[in-house]
Structure 1
Amino acid sequence: MVSRLRSAGCVFAEDEARLLLAEGAGPEELSRNVRQRVEGVPLEHILGWAGFAGGRIVVGPGVFVPRRRTELLVSEGLALLAEALALPPDIAPPAHPVVVDLCCGSGAVGTAILRRAPQVELHAADIDPAAVVCARRNLEPLGGHVHAGDLFAALPPALLGRVRVLAVNAPYVPTQAIRLMPAEARLHEPFASLDGGPDGLDFHRRVAAGCVRWLAPGGHLLIETSTRQAAGTSRILEAAGFTTRTVRSDELDGTVVVGRLPARGAGAV
C-alpha cells in the first residue's frame, strides 16, 4: 500500500497508509479507498474528516479541505477575543462576543474557535450547499449557527453592529493561477472556493466594502491572504477605514491581514 501511494505522488505515504488502514471497515473498503487515493482523490474526502487546529473537521466530497495555514486565522481570532474579554474594570466586556466565520466552507475556523471559546456567539456562512451541510455538522453540535447565502446577505440582520471578530477565508487564488494548483484542489474542490478573480482580491474588496456596518465599534476583520497579496489586501482594508497589520507564520506558512475599525462610529456606515 505504501509503495502504491508513494508511486502516486503521496509525500506522506506511510502516514496516509496508517490512516486508511485505521478508517477502513474491511478489505473491500480499504481497497476502494486506496484506489481513490492513487487516482488523486483528497485523503480528507476519503476519510470524511480533516485534521485542523488539534481536532477533526467533517468534510465531504466537493467541499474545500481546510489548510493548516488557516490555523493562523484561529489563533489571531482567539487572541483578539481574549483581549475583548479582559477589558478594564470600568468597561463591561461583552457577555457573548459575536464571531462570524465568513466564506466558512466546512466551518473549520468557527469550529476551532468555538471549541476553545465556547462562550462566544458563533455564526458561519457560505454560499455552497455542500459546504453548508458540512459546516452544520461541525458547528451545530457546539451551539454555532450556520447560514446559507452570498457573503453578508446570509447573515441575520440582528448581527448588524455587533460582530466583534469577523474571520474570512475567502477565495484568493488569481483565476489564471488555478491551473497551476495541485490536481487534488483543481479537480476535487469547487472552482468557486478557489477563484479570487484576476488578482485574487475580488472577495477582499467585497468583504471590505460590506463589512463595516456589521462590525461592533473597535471590531476586527481578519482576512487570510498570501505573502505576495498581503500589501494589496491591506490597502483594500485601509481604504475602507481600517487600521491594519499583517501577521505571518512561517511554521504554518500562513498570512493574515488584521484590520481594526475605530472604537467610535464603526457601526454607523
Structure 2
Amino acid sequence: MSSPVSPLTLSAIVTGLRAAGCVFAEDEAALLLSTATGPAHLAAMVERRADGLPLEHVLGFAEFCGLRIAVGPGVFVPRRRSEFLVRQAGAVAPARPVVVDLCCGSGALGAVLASTLAGVELHAADVDPAAVRWARRNLAGLGEVYEGDLFAPLPASLRGRVDVLLANVPYVPTGDVDLLPAEARVHEPRVALDGGGDGLDVMRRVAGAALDWLAPGGSLLVETSERQAAVAEETLRAGGLVPRVVVSEELYATVVTGTRPGRDGA
C-alpha cells in the first residue's frame, strides 16, 4: 500500500524526528507515513512523536510477537524483550492450558498465548483501570479480564488449576524510576514500572501466593533484570516452587520460572 500523499516528505520527517532525539528516526518515519490516514493526521502524529509521546502511543499499536496490540496514552507498552517471556511460557504449557496473565497491562502476553496455543482458557488481571480497558479490547473473545490487585479479582475456581501463571510484574527499583527514559517515566503508569526498593516487591507477593493457584506441574514465569535473578530464584524456591533461570542475550532478557512439583505423581 502506498503512503498517503503529504507535504511532509520522508526526509523532512526523519530530520525533524532526529532533531527531537529519536534514535531510529528512519524506521519511525516509515511507520508514521504508512499509518497516517492523510496529511493532517501525519503532521499531528509527527508533532506528537517529536514532543516525546511514545511511538506506539502515537501509532495506536505495538508490534509484539507478530501481533498488533492496541495501546494508547496511559498504558504500558509491551517491550520486545518480553517476547522471550512469552516463548518460555509457551514452551512449558501443556495441552489445553489454563493461563493466567497477572499485571497484564495491554493484554499483549495473553493475546499471544491465546493465538498460538490450542484450547487456551485465558484469564488476565491488572490493578490499573486504564490497563484493564486496553486489555479488554485486545483480549475480546480470547479470555476474561479482571480489575484488581494481583490474585484478588480472580475467580476462586482457578485455585489449583493454573498451568501457566505469567506475571510480568514491575521490577524497576524505586530509586531508578526517575532514571528511565522520558517515554516511560512520563507517559507510562508508575504502577507498571516501580517494583519497590530492590524492584522485587510485587514479585515476592506473587511468589508467596502462587503455589495455591498453580496446578501440579504448573509454572510461574516472571521477568527480571540479570542482577535480580539470583534473589528472584531464591524467592520462588522459598515459595515452594522449583526455580530455573533462563537468559536471552539477543533480547537482553532474563526469565525466572518456578514450577509446582507434582505432575505425574512426582
Q: CA deviation at 1:211?
A: 1.5
List gaps (5 residues or longer) in structure 2.
1-12
- Contact 2:211/2:241, CA 8 A, preserved across alignment: no
Other-structure match for 2:217: 218
| 1:203 partner letter | V
Q: CA deviation at 1:27?
A: 1.5
TM-score, normalising length from structure 1?
0.91
Identity of aligned residues (%): 59
Q: For residues 57 and 217 of structure 2, what CA distance do their matches in structure 1 show?
A: 39
Question: Does residue 1:47 correspond to 2:47, yes or no?
Answer: no
Structure 1 segments of 4+ aligned residues over 2 angstroms from their partners? none
Q: For residues 52 and 211 of structure 2, what CA distance do their matches in structure 1 show?
A: 41
Question: Does residue 1:61 correspond to 2:73, yes or no?
Answer: yes
- Contact 2:233/2:243, CA 8 A, preserved across alignment: yes
Q: Report the 3-state secondary structure (helix = DSSP H, G, I; strand = E; otherwise coil) of the residue aligned with 1:6.
A: helix
Question: Does residue 1:32 correspond to 2:53, yes or no?
Answer: no
Other-structure match for 1:126: 126
Q: CA deviation at 1:144?
A: 1.2
Count of matched residue positions in the alignment of Structure 1 and Structure 2: 252
Other-structure match for 1:114: 114
Other-structure match for 2:260: 261
Question: Does residue 1:80 correspond to 2:92, yes or no?
Answer: yes
Question: Mapping of 1:188-203 within 5 angstroms?
Answer: 188-203=187-202
Q: For residues 252 and 114 of structure 2, what CA distance do their matches in structure 1 show?
A: 23
| 1:78 partner letter | G
Match of 1:13 among 2, 21, 25: 25
Q: For residues 57 and 183 of structure 2, what CA distance do their matches in structure 1 show?
A: 10
Other-structure match for 2:232: 233
| 1:217 partner letter | P
Q: For residues 144 and 49 of structure 1, what CA distance do their matches in structure 2 show?
A: 20
Q: For residues 7 and 254 of structure 1, what CA distance do their matches in structure 2 show?
A: 30
Provide the aligned C-alpha RMSD in A: 1.2
Q: For residues 154 and 4 of structure 1, what CA distance do their matches in structure 2 show?
A: 46
| 1:109 partner letter | L
Q: For residues 148 and 35 of structure 1, what CA distance do their matches in structure 2 show?
A: 34
Q: Report the 3-state secondary structure (helix = DSSP H, G, I; strand = E; otherwise coil) of the residue aligned with 2:86.
A: helix
List gaps (5 residues or longer) in structure 1.
86-95
Other-structure match for 1:99: 99
Q: For residues 31 and 246 of structure 2, what CA distance do their matches in structure 1 show?
A: 33
TM-score, normalising length from structure 2?
0.92
